[in-house]
Amino acid sequence: MSKNEPDGDELTVGCLLVLATLPFLMLANGWTLHLLWGWFLTPTFGISSPGIVGCLGIALLISYMFHNHAREKPDSELSFLSRLVVKITTPIVVAGVTILFGWIFHLFM
């Protein structure tokens, strides 16, 4: 086993961490879409905004359709837990930056 491959304890902690954060990440994704929809689609096209659960379904559909499902090569410089933290924090940062720029853009509408 190489230094970057998880041992049994790291794998267990990693799985528990993913299971604990997955609902939050999904809600953040749905909330982001809900905000953006209300800021842009409702005033532009008059389409009422679906609830957060509806936005979760739309986000899931978009993710399924456009996500690259090819297996990513792990960064050999990072440990397993470091890669896991990157995978968990990236969606939060992306949602935050998206909301920030969406908020700025909607001020000009």
SS (H, E, C) 21-78: HHHHHHHHHHHHHHHHHHHHHHHHHCCCCCCHHHHHHHHHHHHHHHCCCCCCCCCCCC
Please name the amino acid found at residue 83: R
pLDDT on residue 86: 84
Higher pLDDT pick, 28 / 65 = 28
* Percentage, residues of the chain above pLDDT 70: 87
Q: Assess whether pLDDT exceeds 80 at residue 107.
A: yes
- Nearest-angstrom CA–CA distance, 21 and 97: 19
Compute the average pLDDT of residues 81-105: 89
Compute the average pLDDT of residues 85-92: 86
pLDDT on residue 4: 65
- The angle formed by the CA atoms of residues 22, 19 and 93, to the nearest 5 degrees, is 35
